[in-house]
Amino acid sequence: MGLFNRWFGGGKTEEQPDIQFGRYNDGYISEEQKEFWKKSVAEYEAKNYAESFETFFKYLQANRQNSVTYAKENGKLTFELLQGSKKVAGYADDKQFVASTKIVRSERLNVGFMRRLLEHNYALNYARLSLDDENSICMTFSSYLMDASPYKLYAALKELSTTADKQDDLLADEFDMLHPIDTGHVIELPEAEKAIKYKYIKKWTDEAFARIDELDPNKFKIGINYLLLFLVYKMDYLVVPEGVMTETMEKAHHTFFSADGRSPQDKAQAVMKSVKEMMERPEAEFHKEMYRVPATFSITAPAEHSQLASMIEAEMPAMDYYLQNNYMDLATAIPGFVVGHFLFYFHVPQPDREYLHLLLEILESDYFKELGFTDIPYDSATQKFDKSAIKNEIQAIAKSHREHFPKLTPNVAKLKYDNLPEFARSFLFMVKELDLTPKE
């Protein structure tokens, strides 16, 4: 499916669409990268700054999406790195390390966005926002060599890159006088793909809100929250939007998980309000936020398999009531929430990521089929599972990762095919029991 290497192997009978799902993550560190990092730190501690910087960029280049380039000439190192729709450029000479990016271009100055820049400057740890001579809003980081350790460089470049990438779409959407700049590396998606993605954004949202309107908010306050969280997580992972959509999804996540004393009902209402405001925009605005870009830094947090296993253990009992009382959609939303939560907020070990993606394929089979995928092992119309295909896919994932996880042996005998929520629960219990002890 263009996302995992195993899908370019012998397991598929025909080529599948090359469509991106989920955000880039840099959780896998190769042995080569580890050696580059150690050498960069050692050179910095020995005050060999030029060598430290060069090795640092070798570390960044490894296992990236061709998003980092650098060159060294006459004692000066220059570099470029790509993060989403932004290009960061910089240099290191015998005095300082400098990195900067242009976020948006301004036709004229405005009190509103100038105030926004001041607020963002206050929140930044390493970088700073400014206006250049051409009225472009820029973000810059600089450091004297003696303070430019690999740890500081990584944190600073990540802050600069990810913040700039997030703010360009938001600022341009909010202020008419601001326009994107330096976006030549952005890959536009086919209009047909954008149309399908918008169709399902609207479909998922309309269905979730219609179902919530049918439910007693006092009796089903937790079930409603599961529905909403599954909705926002799957929209983010399956559509991979930028700009306002991304901001709405992130705000929804933080609303539900913030310890601010608000009740589940209040949080649900706040999230529904923000999603409704997002959906009131014209379809063309959604299309503008759908494009494909490289990345250098992950915006998700690392997580161990044990964290995923613990959440599965904690959340699955909540399905019992809904299954016993035939609330099948609410029961399905719970494993959907678990899958979405870890694909949205964390980067888990690669086998976990692929298994969670496979389950989401099955839960949202119509979406994948309409995008052109022909090997989805579940038919929503007949509610039938292709048991053989599911087992083969599970084993193919395990086989592709067994070199790094030699004890990875999924127990497919535990899968239940009675209905979609029962299958999802049994699938997650199978994932929970995986042994992802790495090779020594």
Query: Residue type for 384, please?
Result: K
Residues 36 and 176 occupy one common structural domain: yes
CA-nearest of 243, 88, 87, 67 to 168 is 243
At 2 the pLDDT is: 36
pTM for the structure as a whole: 0.83
Residues 226, 231, 236, 242, Cα dihedral to 10°: -120
**Judgement on whether residues 286 and 376 belong to the same structural domain of the protein:** no
Looking at the predicted structure, is the pLDDT value of residue 288 above 60?
yes
Domain ends where: 150, 180, 210? 180
CATH code, domain carrying 53: 3.30.1460.10
Claim to verify: residue 84 and residue 150 sit in the same structural domain = yes
15 and 48 housed in the same domain: no
Contacts of 272 by beta carbon, 8 Å cutoff, 6+ apart: 209, 212, 228
Cα–Cα distances (Å) from 300 to 22, 76, 291, 303, in that order, read: 10, 33, 19, 9
Same domain membership, residue 309 and residue 234: no
pLDDT tens for residues 292-318?
Answer: 878 888 877 788 999 999 999 999 999
Indicate whether 8 and 149 sit together in one domain.
no
Q: Are residues 46 and 124 in the same domain?
A: yes
Cβ partners under 8 Å of residue 175, min gap 6: 110, 112, 113
Reference 423, options 391, 375, 400; nearest CA is 391
User: Residue 5 has what pLDDT?
Assistant: 38
Is pLDDT of 184 > 90? Answer: no
In this model, does residue 407 exceed pLDDT 90?
A: yes
Per residue in 233-285, pLDDT (tens digit) is 999 999 998 888 988 998 999 999 988 888 888 999 999 999 999 999 999 99
DSSP state of 315: H
Residue 1 above 70 pLDDT?
Answer: no
pLDDT confidence of 134, banded at 50, 70, 90? confident
Antiparallel, parallel or unpaired: β 68-73 and 96-106 = unpaired
Backbone angles phi, psi at 436, to 5 degrees: -105, 40
Reading the block at residue 180, the tokens are: 């994107």
**Residue 434 and residue 411: Cα distance in Å, rounded?**
8
Identify the domain boundary among 292, 316, 335. 292
53, two tokens = 């910087």
Please report which confidence band the pLDDT of residue 156 belongs to, taking 50, 70 and 90 as the band edges: very high
Q: Helix, strand, or coil here: 79?
A: strand
Q: For residues 344 and 367, what is the distance between their CA atoms, to the nearest angstrom?
A: 18
Q: pLDDT tens for residues 40-94?
A: 999 999 999 999 999 999 999 886 667 899 999 888 999 999 888 788 999 999 9
What's the burial of 243, exposed, middle or buried (CB within 10 Å: 0-12/13-18/19+)? buried
Residue 40's Cβ-side half-sphere holds a number of Cα atoms within 13 Å equal to 21
CB 300 within 8 A of CB 25: yes
Residues 273 and 343 in one domain: no
What is the pLDDT at residue 66? 79
Report which DSSP code applies to 117: H
For helices 191-214 and 264-279, what crossing angle results, to 10°? 140
Domain span at 147: 31-180
Distance of alpha carbon 99 from alpha carbon 81, whole angstroms: 10
Tell how strand 136-144 and strand 178-180 pair up.
unpaired
Same domain flag for 404 and 378:
yes
Average pLDDT over residues 187-203: 95
Q: Which of 18-27, 336-345, 392-401 shows the lowest mean pLDDT across its residues?
A: 18-27
What does the pLDDT read at residue 166? 78
Q: How far is CA 394 from CA 110, 245, 314, 354, in A?
A: 55, 32, 24, 9
Are 310 and 421 in a shared domain? yes
Single-letter amino acid code for the residue at 247: E
Statement: residue 8 has pLDDT above 70: no
Q: Cβ–Cβ contacts within 10 Å for residue 276, how many? A: 11
CA distance linking residue 90 with residue 55, whole number of Å: 16
pLDDT, position 6:
36
Using one digit for the tens of pLDDT, what is the confidence trace for 313-355?
999 999 999 999 999 999 999 999 999 999 998 888 999 999 9
Say whether both 421 and 355 belong to one domain. Answer: yes
The partner residues of 419 in beta bridges, in order of sequence, read none
Please say if the pLDDT value at position 4 is more than 50.
Answer: no
Are 436 and 405 spatial neighbours (Cβ–Cβ below 8 Å)?
yes
194-212: average pLDDT? 97
Measure the CA angle with vertex 167, ends 163 and 110; round to 5°. Answer: 130
Q: Which of 180, 210, 245 is the last residue of a domain?
A: 180
Q: Are 323 and 421 in contact (CB under 8 A)?
A: yes
Please tell me whether residues 108 and 191 are part of one structural domain.
Answer: no
Number of domains in the chain: 3
Band (pLDDT 50/70/90 cuts) for residue 9 is very low
pLDDT tier at 133 (50, 70, 90 boundaries)?
confident
- Dihedral (Cα; 336, 163, 242, 185), 10-degree rounding: -130
